[in-house]
Structure 1
C-alpha cells in the first residue's frame, strides 16, 4: 500500500479582508506541501481540476509541472481530470509532457467531476455524460498503447494519424479512473484495464468492500493481470500530536466547505453530529495522532486490501502550518507504522 495526498487548492474567506485568500498564496502553499510530501517519502500527490472561487485550481498539469521542478521521487497526478469536457488527445499530450519533465513520475486520474462548472464554462452538454466519458476512455486507452491511431466516435471528430507525441518516458502513462458508488462504474474501469480510485466521503470505506471486490472480479474476467492494476481510497484526514486539535481543526474547515456544496446540490445540511459520525470509529474522515491515523488506515486496509490511501488535508483551507505538520507526521510516523502490512514501504 502507498500513502499520498490530494488537494483541490481549497480557498476560504479571510476574516481580515472579507475576501477569498489570494490565488497566488494558495498556489505557493500547495507547492510547499508537495515538496514536503516528497521529502518525507509519501508516494503520490494529486491535484484536482475545478473552476470556482473556493477551488481556484483549473489547470492541474501546470501546477504539477511546477511541482516536478522541486521534487524528485513523489508521483504527480490529477485528482481528477474532467474527461467529458476535455479532449483525450490533449490530455494525453499534456500528461506525457509532464511525465518527461518529471522523469517518469506522472499519472492521470480520469473522472466526470464532482461539480458541473466545467460543463457550463465550456458550453458542454450535460446529457449523455456517462456515454461520452466511456467513449473518451476508450480513445485515451488507445492513445496510451501507442502506434497508429484510427478512431471515430460520436463526441469528437475521427482521428487517423500515425501516432501522437510526445510519448511517456516508459512508453505508457499510469492511468486511474475515479469510480462511483454503482457497480457499473467499477465494471467500466475494470474492463478497460484502468486502476480504480474510490472516494468514500460519506459512507465508511469498509461498507463499500463489495464495490472493490466487484472491480477485481470484473478485471480478472476481462483478462487483466491484477498485479498491474491498483485500487486506491480517497478521503479526508488530518494528523496531529494532539488528537483533539486534529479533530477540531478539521471540523472548523470541513463544515463551511460541505455546507456550501450541500446548498448548491439541495442536500440536507451537515452538522456536528454528522461530523462526529464520519470522523470516529469506521467513518471516512481520519483525524488524530499518528498512531490513531495508522490504526484507522490499517482497519480499512483489512477490509479492502487497497494499494493506495490518499488524504485531503486542506479541505476548506485548513491553516498551512497544520497541513505542513500533518504531512510531516504522515510520512515520518504514520507510514513506518504501516510497514508491517507488507506492501506499504517507506522510501530511503
Structure 2
C-alpha cells in the first residue's frame, strides 16, 4: 500500500504558539515535502483553497518548487478544483510539473469541499455537478489527444487545437476525489479512473457500499479490477506514543473543526467526539505507528482493499517540528509495519 501526506499549506504556528508569516510557512512546507521524500513516503499532495488560512491557491507552483528539491516522491494536487478552473491551463501546468519532476506528477480533480472558488472565478453553484462533468470530459480528452476538437456549455470551443506541453507519463495519472455522493463514485467507475475517497468523519466502513458502487460501475464499463484503484484520504497524526499523539493533536483539531462547524451548522467538537473518531471504526488516524498501521489495515479490509492512504494533519495547528517528526514516523516506522 502506498502511503503519503496531503497538505492544505496552512499558515503555520511556531513552537510557542505564535502564527508564522506566509513566507516562513511556505518554506517550512517545502522542508516537510523534502522530509517525506527522505523518509520513504510515496506521495505528497497539495490541496486548493482560496481562504486566508491556507496558502495553496496555486498548488502547481508549490509542487514545482518541491519537484526541484526531491528525488523520488510522487507529487499531486489534493485536489484541483476543476469546476472553477480551465482544463487547458490545468493540464498545461501539470504537464509542466511532470517534466520538471521527470515523471513524478499526478493530479486529483474534484469539486472541492469549500465553495469560495465559484464566485471568485465567476461560476454559479447552481451548475455544481454539470460544470464538473463537462470540464472533466475536456481534461481527459486533452490528456489522451495532442490535438483536440471539443465544444461545451461552460468554455469556448476548441477546433483542431494542439495543446502543449505534453507530459512525460503516458497516460498522465488523473484521479477523481470524492466525498459521499453516489453519482461521483459511479462516474469515476464508468470512466475507469482511480478514486480518492475523503473520509474526514464518521465510520470508514460505512463507505463500503459507495466503493462497491464505484467498482461495479467500472466493471460494467469494461475496466479490469486492477485499474480501479481506491485511495483513502484521512485526517491523522502519528507520534511516538498514542498518548502524545492525542495530547498534541486534539486542541488544534477541535478549534479548527469547531470553526468550520460554525460555517456549516455543525455543533462544537468535544473530546468525546474526538475519542469516538479515534475508535476502531472511526475515521481519524491518530496514534502510535503500531496503532495507526493496524487501523489502516482494518479500514482497507472494510472497504474491500485500498491501494493508497494519505494523512492530512496540518489543519490541527501543529508546529513545524511536530509535523516533521510525524512525517518521519509515518515513513520510517508506520509504513513498513503496514506493508509487512
The aligned counterpart of 2:2 is 2
Q: How does 1:195-234 map to 2 (within 5 A)?
A: 195-234=194-233
Unaligned runs of 5+ in 2: none
Q: How does 1:196-275 map to 2 (within 5 A)?
A: 196-275=195-274
**Matches of 2:11 and 2:135 in 1, distance apart?**
31
**Matches of 2:270 and 2:14 in 1, distance apart?**
22
**Matches of 1:170 and 1:67 in 2, distance apart?**
18
Structure 1 runs of 4+ aligned residues shifted over 3 Å read 12-18
**Matches of 2:161 and 2:268 in 1, distance apart?**
53
Query: Does the aligned pair in 1 maintain the 2:49–2:55 contact within 8 Å?
Result: yes
Are 1:312 and 2:312 matched, yes or no?
Answer: yes
**Matches of 2:15 and 2:196 in 1, distance apart?**
36
TM-superposition CA deviations, 1:114-151 (whole Å, max 9, x none): 11111122232111110100111111111110233111
Query: Which secondary structure does the structure 1 equivalent of 2:125 belong to?
Result: coil
Change (3 A) 1:229 1:167: farther
The aligned counterpart of 1:328 is 328
**Matches of 2:3 and 2:14 in 1, distance apart?**
31
Unaligned runs of 5+ in 1: 341-348
Query: Does the aligned pair in 2 maintain the 1:12–1:54 contact within 8 Å?
Result: no
Question: Normalised by the size of structure 2, how large is the TM-score?
Answer: 0.96
Query: Does the aligned pair in 1 maintain the 2:12–2:320 contact within 8 Å?
Result: no
Q: How does 1:131-170 map to 2 (within 5 A)?
A: 131-170=130-169
Cα displacement (A) at 1:170: 2.2
The aligned counterpart of 1:43 is 42
Query: Does the aligned pair in 2 maintain the 1:280–1:286 contact within 8 Å?
Result: no
Query: Which secondary structure does the structure 2 equivalent of 1:24 belong to?
Result: helix
Cα displacement (A) at 1:290: 1.0
Query: Which secondary structure does the structure 2 equivalent of 1:166 belong to?
Result: coil
TM-superposition CA deviations, 1:221-256 (whole Å, max 9, x none): 111223223110011111111211101211111111
State how many pairs are aligned.
339
Question: Normalised by the size of structure 1, how large is the TM-score?
Answer: 0.94
**Matches of 1:12 and 1:320 in 2, distance apart?**
7
**Matches of 1:30 and 1:226 in 2, distance apart?**
36
Cα displacement (A) at 1:16: 7.6
Q: In angstroms, what is the RMSD of aligned CA positions?
A: 1.6
